[in-house]
Amino acid sequence: MFWTLELASHLEDAPWPATKDELIDYAIRSGAPLEVVENLQELDDEGEIYEGVEDIWPDYPTQDDFFFNEDEY
């Protein structure tokens, strides 16, 4: 399983929280690249509910990862 920022960004608008099957269904319906569907299929399926992209790819950058002051703009 190999995630990139571009691939993971296809799941930002997914209906969170979601199961593995719901995420695969969303990725297919939304036209995400095949790599996204393949990565989701490789997840361990123990009936786990995923709360966000960070649960799937812990290194997914958040707003806190960017070093700029939004108040300046």
Q: How many domains does the chain have?
A: 1
pLDDT for the residue 37: 96
- Residue 11 maps to a domain: yes
- Residue 23 maps to a domain: yes
- Residue 71 maps to a domain: no
pLDDT for the residue 65: 47
Question: Which residues of the chain carry a pLDDT beneath 70?
Answer: 62-73
How many other CB atoms are found less than 10 A from the CB of residue 10? Answer: 18
Boundaries of domain holding 30: 1-50
Output the pTM of the full model. Answer: 0.80
pLDDT for the residue 14: 94
How many other CB atoms are found less than 10 A from the CB of residue 64? Answer: 6
pLDDT for the residue 59: 79
